[in-house]
């Protein structure tokens, strides 16, 4: 619009200059339009007419060119071509957005290597993309503290993002009372189980510790493993179990208090949680024995579950794809469930939160309004989001939005549809816990799984393990290196 006004002014200015020029030459005094028109020759009037036509044509093409020019918005994202992320984001987001309107051109740039290092370097130099991808809340906090992120508060109010994004996810991006970021992916822990096997034996999913332990013994009496799980190929698997017991025995409220410093990890409720985990591990709850647990890996999970060597599998949402694929080849059916509550302080069944990548806008962006339009286009159509994550095996781009039945096409597996809806409803009510790999500072996060083997070996006590854990938290807190935790 501004360019249009400038061109109109130039058109009038050109006419005035022509009139003034001829006034000086022909009239020899101050300009007089009426007198000038009388003394110009027909040839001069013709030349003047041609000049006006040519200039008008130039202005017309300049104007139409300005209308067709698009504002370019860049977005840096990590590259995962092998997993299909690059091609799906390019096709379903970049290309479809660009085809949906003619004002903004979105370019997604896929960065090899560490996206966070590339982004940090660019932001500190005052440049970088308009839309920022980071690997989690710790990076968002660092960017915010350095003044590198733009507040999205006004855009959130304009587009109603607070009504679209799940409350817990929205709160993770609030700093100093303003909204700066939201997760573009999340994970959680749950149980997969052989539903047909349960029905044949009359087994029911446990709802408390007594039922949990009784079910494990019943399954093992049939010559099967109660749970198939193990750490071969991925030692941090241990922290999945630690988080499961903290969030189902001690409960999310107590975990939250420990994360925020209101409680210590050495408090009795956490000691009891790890003591119970140790007892169950040494009793062979996972894969029959501690030795088997150390020897079993990813492929074994789904093999044992589908061949009835194990009845249940505790794993994250990243296990949906292989579980669906495995049971599609046999007559048995599978089910999934939230983890049972094992302690008196566990509260309601919950989903542990794990935040993957996040999205923000660069404070140095020259086109923040346009960048916000891109983000709004992405998250305002939940069917589009579901299509994208379906193409990625439901292991990526799980934006935490408020989903319901109408957001899912018929080709979405019913188990995934039910999970999306239940996760939205459950966490929307405040029934959520916390994963160690998202909310623990670096050293404490490594310690929680590395030293777990020492506890299981009996070389240190549970209290010694948690005392060291608390020291690492105290150290991180003194250095302001804690991970942001949204208010409950």
- Residues 172 and 355: their CA atoms lie apart, in Å, by 9
Residue 240 sits at the vertex; the CA angle it makes with 234 and 244, to the nearest 5 degrees, is 165
Identify the pLDDT of residue 45. Answer: 55
Q: What is the 3-state secondary structure (H, E, C) of 305-373?
A: HHCCCEEEEEEEHHHHHHHHHHHCCCCCCEEEECCCCCCCCCCCCCEEEEECCEEEEECCCCCHHHHHH
Q: Domain 73-185+356-380 - what CATH class?
A: alpha beta
pLDDT tens per residue across span 333-378: 999 999 999 999 999 999 999 988 999 999 999 999 999 999 999 9
Instruction: Check residue 83 and report its DSSP letter.
Output: T
Tokens of 239: 């922290």
Whether 111 has a pLDDT exceeding 50, the answer reads yes
Identify the pLDDT of residue 235. Answer: 95
Identify the pLDDT of residue 33. Answer: 47
Identify the pLDDT of residue 65. Answer: 47
Identify the pLDDT of residue 421. Answer: 94
Identify the pLDDT of residue 138. Answer: 82
Mean pLDDT of 83-94: 95
State the pLDDT confidence band at 13, using cuts at 50, 70 and 90.
low
What radius of gyration do the chain's Cα atoms show? 31
Sign of the alpha-carbon dihedral angle for 383, 385, 391, 392: negative
Identify the pLDDT of residue 29. Answer: 43
pLDDT tens per residue across span 230-272: 999 999 999 999 999 999 999 999 999 999 999 999 999 999 9
- The DSSP string of 197-220 is HHHHHT-----SHHHHHHHHHHHH
Assigned CATH for 188-353+435-478? 3.40.190.10
State the pLDDT confidence band at 4, using cuts at 50, 70 and 90.
very low
Whether 34 has a pLDDT exceeding 80, the answer reads no
State the pLDDT confidence band at 44, using cuts at 50, 70 and 90.
low
Identify the pLDDT of residue 246. Answer: 98
Name the packing angle between helices 42-68 and 2-22 (round to 10°).
170
Q: How many percent of the chain have pLDDT more than 90? A: 76
pLDDT tens per residue across span 430-471: 999 999 999 999 999 999 999 999 999 999 999 999 999 999
Domain with CATH 3.40.190.10 in the chain: 73-185+356-380, 188-353+435-478
Identify the pLDDT of residue 488. Answer: 87
Centre a 10 Å sphere on the Cβ of residue 61 and count the other Cβ atoms it contains: 10
Whether 322 has a pLDDT exceeding 70, the answer reads yes
How many angstroms separate the first and last alpha carbons of the chain? 46
Tokens of 15: 């006419």
- Residues 347 and 427: their CA atoms lie apart, in Å, by 13
State the pLDDT confidence band at 31, using cuts at 50, 70 and 90.
very low
Of 396, 332, 307, the closest CA to residue 93 belongs to 396
Identify the pLDDT of residue 395. Answer: 75
pLDDT tens per residue across span 202-216: 999 999 999 999 999
């Amino acid at each position: 619009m501004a360019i249009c006004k400038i061109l109109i002014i130039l058109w009038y200015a050109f006419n005035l200059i022509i009139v003034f020029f001829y006034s000086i030459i022909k009239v020899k005094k101050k300009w007089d339009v009426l007198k000038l028109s009388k003394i110009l020759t027909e040839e001069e009037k013709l030349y003047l007419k041609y000049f006006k036509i040519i200039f008008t044509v130039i202005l017309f093409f300049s104007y139409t060119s300005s209308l067709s020019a698009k504002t370019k918005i860049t977005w840096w994202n990590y590259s995962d071509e092998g997993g299909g992320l690059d091609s799906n984001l390019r096709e379903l987001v970049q290309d479809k957005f660009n085809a949906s309107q003619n004002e903004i051109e979105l370019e997604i740039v896929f960065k090899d290597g560490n996206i966070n290092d590339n982004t940090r370097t660019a932001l500190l130099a005052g440049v970088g993309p308009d839309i920022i991808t980071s690997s989690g809340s710790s990076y968002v906090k660092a960017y915010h503290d350095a003044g590198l992120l733009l507040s999205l508060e006004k855009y959130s109010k304009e587009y109603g993002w607070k009504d679209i994004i799940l409350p817990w996810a929205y709160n993770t991006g609030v700093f100093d009372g303003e909204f700066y970021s939201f997760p573009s992916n999340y994970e959680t822990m749950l149980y997969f189980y052989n539903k047909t096997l349960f029905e044949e034996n009359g087994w029911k999913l446990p709802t408390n510790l007594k039922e949990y332990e009784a079910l494990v013994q019943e399954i093992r009496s049939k010559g099967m493993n109660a749970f198939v799980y193990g750490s071969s190929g991925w030692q941090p698997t241990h922290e999945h179990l630690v988080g499961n017991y903290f969030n189902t025995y001690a409960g999310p409220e107590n975990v939250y208090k420990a994360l925020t410093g209101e409680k210590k990890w050495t408090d009795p409720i956490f000691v009891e949680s790890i003591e119970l985990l140790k007892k169950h591990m040494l009793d062979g709850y996972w894969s029959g024995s501690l030795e088997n647990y150390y020897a079993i890996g990813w492929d074994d999970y789904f093999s044992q579950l589908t061949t009835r060597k194990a009845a249940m599998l505790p794993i994250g949402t990243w296990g949906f794809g292989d579980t669906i694929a495995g049971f599609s080849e046999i007559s048995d059916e599978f089910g999934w469930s939230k983890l049972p509550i094992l302690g008196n302080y566990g509260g309601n069944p919950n989903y542990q939160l794990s935040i993957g990548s996040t999205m923000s806008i660069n404070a140095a962006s020259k086109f923040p309004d346009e960048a916000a339009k891109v983000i709004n286009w992405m998250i305002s159509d939940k069917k589009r989001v579901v299509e994208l994550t379906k193409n990625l095996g439901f292991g990526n781009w799980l934006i935490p939005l408020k989903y319901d039945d109408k957001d899912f096409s018929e080709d979405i597996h019913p188990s995934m549809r039910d999970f999306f809806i239940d996760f939205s409803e459950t966490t929307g009510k405040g029934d959520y816990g916390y994963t160690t790999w998202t909310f623990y500072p670096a050293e404490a996060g490594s310690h929680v799984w590395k030293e777990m083997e020492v506890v299981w070996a009996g070389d240190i006590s549970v209290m010694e393990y948690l005392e060291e854990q608390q020291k690492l938290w105290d150290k991180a807190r003194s250095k302001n290196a804690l991970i942001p935790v949204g208010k409950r």
